Structure formats: structure tokens, C-alpha cells
Amino acid sequence: MPLALIILLPLCGFLINGLIGRRLPRPVPGIIGCIAVFLAFIVAVTRFLDLAARPEDARSITETAYTWMAVGDFNVQVSLLLDQLSSVMILIITGIGFLIHLYSAGYMAHDHNDPDGVLYARYFSFLNLFIAFMSLLVLADNYLLMFVGWEGVGLCSYFLIGYWFQFDEAAEAAKKAFIVNRIGDFGFLLGIMLIFLTAGALDYETVFSLARDNPTAFDAGVAGALGGIVAITLLLTLGATGKSAQVPLFVWLPDAMAGPTPVSALIHAATMVTAGVYMAARSSALFDLADTTRLIVCGIGALTALAAAITALAHTDIKKVLAYSTVSQLGFMFMAIGSGAYVAAIFHVFTHAFFKACLFLGAGSVIHALHGEQDMRKMGGLATKMKTTNITFLLSGLALAGAAPFAGFFSKDEIIAQTYAASASNSLYYLFAAVALLTAFITAIYTGRQYSMVFLGERRDQQPGITSHESPEAQPEHAAQEIVPQEAVLQTDNAHNAHDVHESPAVMTLPLWVLAAGAVFAGFLGVPHIPGVPAQLHAFADWLDPLFPHAADAAESHVNWALLLMGLVIGWAGWLLGRSLGMNANRAMLPASASRLSLNEVYNQTVVKVGFAITAVLRWIDEKIIDGIVNLVGGFVNQAGAGLRLTQTSFISDYALAMAVGAAIVIFLLAGRFWPL
Amino acid sequence: MPTTAYLAVSAALFAIGVLGVLTRRNAIVIFMCIEMMLNAANLAFVATARHLAETQDPAKAMSGQVFVFFVMTVAAAEVAVGLAIIITLFRNRNTVDVNEVNLLKF
């Protein structure tokens, strides 16, 4: 089966749902969407098994569809590359994508804003389009095609954040996500241009073999003048910080929670936001050459991870906690990239996709059951009411907390160990490893706190004094969020009262179970290389290692037992501490100011103000100068016409005279020219 | 008679036609003047055709004469269309004075 099917099947689903979906009755677009992605998943699994059956050095398949453009030496093919890295990514995208499609079919079934099912079909068409573009992003075999997918997923993210566009918050969050991403994409595009100027091609094979065989080539020419390989990788990193929500461009991701919860799970947790990590891992041959860039990437990751984790500690909105947690976990992945541990980064992408998707879907299930309530201070005691959601949330929460032996423990511990190991080259990595340990501890605290606030203790929704308008955290940002009833519109048809909490339907709980199973067991694919442990238990690293020659060396190094033990203690201790903190939910964890990183305000004061000033100048230029020139031309034509109008006298003899005189002049000129015949 | 005499008559006819078109206001008369200009051209054609046949090559007499037939054909078509326009004009405006037909002006 051709690889292109993985992209074309969801694209067909998009076309069907987009063109005729609104005429179909309510469940049909959902079924079409699920089937399209499921078939893509089947193709992906088939191709993966096919790839795994090959010998290790032949695990790279390129399938060329056609030549996209050929201009002189510039030649770009539309061709897809299946290797160890893209096969793992494509399994995550289509597999978890299918589960979230399935969940969405139940979650979006009762939307009071959408009685005719028009939005319902639109939802699934965009979700399918997202899967198609994301598959294109990871399967592309050159940077330009990857960029097409890169922009495409950004577009779908924009559509789906703004799904409930009738609410200003959703529309503005969508715009913000798109515009902030534009900055990163600009950097990515510049990086691609520099790569082309240096390597003369954009396909991975040419670029990476040049990087391996002739690294000095990147210090020549235009790229060399601008900083060589460091400039290229820094521009790529800028692109990655936009898409993967890192400092300084992370501000869009928390706002993106204005979209439907399954969208947050799929796009803003499991897949799209990891595109930056994938891109950096794919470009490992370039990043390996640039020590400075990797140091910066690691610093960005550490800063983002710590800041976002602290912020998550201060939030009481169930989705915002998860959003900041995602930013923080992406920071971990960046630390892994910065340490040169690409396998560890992709492994964390893999485990994170399971447990974070499960957490988001669990949160969606809770919100669904509570008729749109997102404030954790009004929750509590749901464990007995929602058994499936409780268990799956607990398991994936433990995975996020890094509690052994759940998935997050192994992947996060691997990152910490690799960051620590990188300190051999630069002692700053000691600092980063310490930050990573601290962040892991905070992660465990806020996850435990969130779990106990939502599921343990007593229901608090009737208690006085915790209405959001009186709470210390109901500052402008929060207040603005309260106005928006995005999830509130998802109330079920029956007029349940708030006490009648019910478990979600099977179509929603089944994905929860599968994802929770992943959260429990996915980690066992990446157990450290401890002597005596069967090879199957570190199959993930063995699978990816051939792609990353440097990473293979690191993986063979001895296991850092001290770090492993610290990770184990930190995970469980943080979880238990957070759990007990969550019991006193009314007490604010941190001052309200910590609930939002002040970067938003900084941007408002600097970038936005400067932007408005520039706009004012440009507006003046446009109105006075450009419009002035246009009006001048128009005015001249007008005046000339008014003057020439006077020649239309209505006397035919005048016209005839003009004609005769003209003819006489022509004849005179011609006669003069040809005179001696 | 020398060829120049024919050409002089042709030029005189043409000039009279032009003056008539420019000075007269009756559409029918203007029309007749245009016919006169066409026939002045015809006269010039046949005169030069004969001149060329006598002085150079007899075969060259043909082209000028053939052109006269073309001009006559065009003139016939022009008369058919022009008279139709004038009749329609008269029916609508009850006049054939071209200075009275002045709707299309500034």
C-alpha cells in the first residue's frame, strides 16, 4: 500500500465532510471521519510492520509521487520518506488521532450551538484535514514539503481553536495562535533558505550527507557570513519554539484551550505541538554540528519547563493546568534535543502523547459530566461517580508525574540522565539537569493536586466563597475566560441538575482505556540499558538508534542509578505531596500573579505597541502618499476627459473636417516620404 | 488626352465632394457627395491603369480596373446601409438635417 494513502485517506474524509457533510444527519460525518483515520492507521501499521521486517540498514523507503518544481538547479520532489523516525511518528498521529476522533464523535454529539449539525461536519472535516497535514509533515522527505505540512497543521489548529467562533475569546485565541506561529514559521523559512543556499538542495539525504561528510561547507557563502551552522539551526529552533510553544513564543498555547477539549488533546498535546521536536530530531545531523545552538535549545527547554510548571501550580482551571503542563513537558523534550539525546526526546513525545491525550480526554469527560464547569475548585469527589474517568485519569496522571513504573517515569528519567551526561561537554548542563529534576518534582505536585481536587474529597460546587468572581485569581485573564461558555454549550439535552453527575458514554470511555493502557505500558519500551533487562524492554531506543549515531553512543553508557533513584523518589513524593495539597483546594497555592506568566503583558507593552505605532505610520503613508498618487492619476484622467468633452460639438461637419484634415496630414506625410515614386 | 487631365478631373471631383460633405447639412446631399468622392477615386484608378498599360506592360491594366469594381460593390453596399439609416432617421426625427441630429454631445 502506498505511503500516500496515509495522507490521502484523511484528505478524502475532509473532502466528503467538507463538501456534503452539512447535508448528512448528525452521526454520519463523525463515522466518516473515524473510518478515514482508522484506514490510515491500518496503512501505517502495515507499512510499519513491513519496515520492521527489513534488515536494519534497509529501513528507509522513499516513494516519489511527482516532481513538484524544477527551476534550474532547484528541484523539489513530492516524495515521502518512511524510516524509523517517521514510522513512529505516523503511528502516534494516526493511532492516537483515531482514538480522539472516536472520542469526539461522543463529545461533540450534543452541542447546543449547533442544532442542525452544520458545525459537527465542519469539526470532523478539519480534524481529518489536520491528520492529513500532520502525516505530510512527518512523511515529507524534504524541508519544503515538511513546511507545507507545517503550515497546514497551523491552519487546522487555527480553524479548530476558533471552532466556536461566535465567542470572541475563541476567535481571538485562534488569531493569536496563528500570528504567534507566524513568527516562528518565518524563522523556519529563513532557515530553509539558508540550507538551500548552502547545500543547493532541500531533501534530507543531500543536506544531511553534506553535514556529515563536509561540515565546513556550512561555514561558507551566505550562510557562513550570517553565522554558519549556528545561524541555520537557531532559525530552525525559532520555528520549533513557535510550533512547540517554547519561550518566547509559548503564549498562544494556554489560550488555545478555547477550542473543544478533544482538539486540545489531539493538536495541542499529542501531535502538532511535538512537530518542533520532530523537526529538530529530523535535523539532528545539523544540530549535532552546532554546540552553541544545542546549549541555547537546552536553556530554552529548561526555562520553559520550569516556568510553565510553576504556572501550572497556580492555576485552577482544569484545562489550563494541562495546557501549562504540556508546555512544560515540551520543555523537557527541548532539553533532550539540546543535550543531543534525540531518541529520548522522541520517546518522551511517544509517552507524552498517550498520557497527555488521556488526561485531556479525561478532563473533557469531567467537563462534559459537569455541564461545562472547568474550575477545579468547584469539583471534587468525582471518583465514585465517574469510575472509568477516575481510573484512567489516575493512571495517566501518575505517568505525567513521572511515578515509577508508569510511562512518564522512563521517558523523563532518560531525559534527565542524558542532560546530566551532556555536562561532560559544558558544565551548564549540570544546571539544566538540576532544573529538570526540580521541574519533575513540581510536575508531580501539580498533577497530584489536580487529581485530588477533581476526584477526591467532597463536591464543592455548592460551597459559598469560591465563586470565581470573588476568588483572588479572578483577575482579568480569568474573568475573561469565565465569560466564555465554550464548554458550557456542550450541555446534554436532558436538563440534568448539577448533582446528577454521570459517566460518559462508551464511545468516550473506550479511547480513555486504550490511552491509559498506553500511559501504563508505553514506558516499558524504553527501559534504561540495565544489564539483564531483556532487549524488548528497550526496543524503542534500539529502533531509533541507527538514525542517530551519536545517541547510540550515549545509550550504551552506564545507567545513572543515582538519578534513576532520585526520579523515582521525586515522582512519588511529589504526587503524594500534591495530593494532600489538593485536599485543601480553597487555599490558593500561589499568588494570583503567578497564574499567568507576565510575558503576555510584556508583549502587549512592547511588540504590540510598537506594532501599532508602525501601523499608524504605514496607515499615514498609505492614505496620504499611495492613495494620493492613485487619486492624482484618476483626477488627471477626469480633468482631461472634461476638457476633451468640449470637442464633441454635435455638428457633423466639424467631425468631418477633423477627419479630412487628419487624412490630408497623413497623405502629406506619406507623399513626402515616397515622393520621387 | 494625357493622363494628367483625367487625374485633374478626378482631383476636382474629389475636392467638390469633400467640400460638399463639409458644408451641406442635408444628409441626402452629403451622401451624394460621398458617392462623388468614391467615383473620383474610380476615375483615378482607371486613368492610371490605362497609363500603366500604355507606358509599361499591358497586363498592368487589370489591377486598377478590378479595383474599380470592388469600389463599386462597396459603394452599393454603403448606399443600401446609408439610405436605410437616413430613412430611419427621418421617421424618428422628421428631418434629414444633420445639425438637428445632435443628441450625442457634451
Per the CB < 8 Å rule, is B22 touching A653?
yes
pLDDT beyond 70 at A481: no
ipTM: 0.75
For an interface test with A, which of B7, B19, B22 has the most A Cβ atoms less than 10 Å from its Cβ?
Answer: B22
Per the CB < 8 Å rule, is B99 touching A645?
no
Query: Looking at A300-358, which runs of residues are DSSP E strands?
Result: none
Q: Over range A638-656, report the average pLDDT.
A: 86
Helices A506-521 and A342-369, axial angle in degrees (round to 10): 150
A473 pLDDT band, cuts 50/70/90, is very low
pLDDT beyond 70 at A474: no
- Decide which of A443 and A531 is more confident: A443
State whether residue A402 is helix, strand or coil: coil
- pLDDT recorded at residue A426: 86
Chain B residues within an 8 Å CB radius of A651 = 98-99, 102
A551 pLDDT band, cuts 50/70/90, is low
Global pTM value: 0.77
pLDDT beyond 90 at A373: no
- pLDDT recorded at residue A529: 77
Chain B residues within an 8 Å CB radius of A656 = 21-22
- pLDDT recorded at residue A278: 95
Distance from CA of B97 to the nearest CA of A (A): 10
> How many Cα atoms occupy the beta-carbon half-sphere of A668 within 13 Å?
6
By Cβ distance, the residue of B22, B98, B101 closest to A660 is B22
For residue B102, give Cα distances in angstroms to A77, A576, B22, B87, B97.
Answer: 68, 100, 16, 17, 10
Per residue, what are the HEC states of A61-85? EEEEEEEEEEECCEEEEEEEEEEHH
A287 pLDDT band, cuts 50/70/90, is very high
Residue range A70-115, pLDDT digits in tens: 888 888 999 999 999 999 999 999 999 999 999 999 888 877 677 6
- pLDDT recorded at residue A594: 56
A143 pLDDT band, cuts 50/70/90, is very high
A222 pLDDT band, cuts 50/70/90, is confident
Q: Is A218 exposed, middle or buried (0-12, 13-18, 19+ CB in 10 A)?
A: buried
Distance from CA of A659 to the nearest CA of B (A): 10
For residue A442, give Cα distances in angstroms to A418, A437, A560, A573, A578.
Answer: 20, 9, 22, 10, 9
- pLDDT recorded at residue A557: 57
For an interface test with B, which of A644, A645, A652, A667 has the most B Cβ atoms less than 10 Å from its Cβ?
Answer: A652
> Range with the lowest mean pLDDT among A56-60, A107-111, A418-422?
A107-111
Per the CB < 8 Å rule, is B106 touching A645?
yes
Query: What percent of chain A shows pLDDT beyond 70?
Result: 89
CA torsion angle A264 A265 A271 A273 (round to 10): 40
Q: Which of A260, A243, A324 is nearest to A127 (CA)?
A: A260
Interface of B with A in 19-48 (CB under 8 A): 21-23, 25, 30
Nearest CA in chain B to A657: B22
State whether residue A481 is helix, strand or coil: helix
Q: Could you tell me how many CB contacts below 8 A there are between chain A and chain B?
A: 32
- Decide which of A446 and A502 is more confident: A446
- pLDDT recorded at residue A147: 95
Nearest CA in chain A to B104: A650
A328 pLDDT band, cuts 50/70/90, is very high
Chain A residues within an 8 Å CB radius of B105 = 648-650
pLDDT beyond 60 at A306: yes
By Cβ distance, the residue of B30, B99, B106 closest to A651 is B99
Chain A residues within an 8 Å CB radius of B101 = 650, 652
Residue range A568-585, pLDDT digits in tens: 888 899 888 888 887 775
> Range with the lowest mean pLDDT among A18-32, A127-141, A178-192, A285-299?
A18-32
Q: Over range B16-39, report the average pLDDT.
A: 91
Distance from CA of B25 to the nearest CA of A (A): 8
Which DSSP state fits A677? -
Handedness of CA A249, A276, A302, A321 (dihedral sign): positive
Per the CB < 8 Å rule, is A648 touching B104?
yes
Grid coordinates standing for A310? Answer: 510553576
Chain B residues within an 8 Å CB radius of A654 = none
Query: What percent of chain B shows pLDDT beyond 70?
Result: 97
- pLDDT recorded at residue A561: 82
- In whole numbers, what is the pLDDT of chain A averaged over residues? 86
Query: Bridge partners of A76?
Result: A69
Nearest CA in chain A to B22: A653
d(CA A380, CA A360): 17
- Domain B3-93: which CATH number of 1.10.260.40, 2.60.40.60, 1.10.287.3510, 3.40.50.300: 1.10.287.3510
- pLDDT recorded at residue A484: 39
A466 pLDDT band, cuts 50/70/90, is very low
A646 interfacial to chain B (CB closer than 8 Å): yes
State whether residue A404 is helix, strand or coil: coil
Per the CB < 8 Å rule, is A652 touching B30?
yes
Chain A residues within an 8 Å CB radius of B103 = 650
Nearest CA in chain B to A647: B106
A456 pLDDT band, cuts 50/70/90, is confident
Per the CB < 8 Å rule, is A650 touching B18?
no
> Range with the lowest mean pLDDT among A71-80, A221-230, A273-282?
A221-230
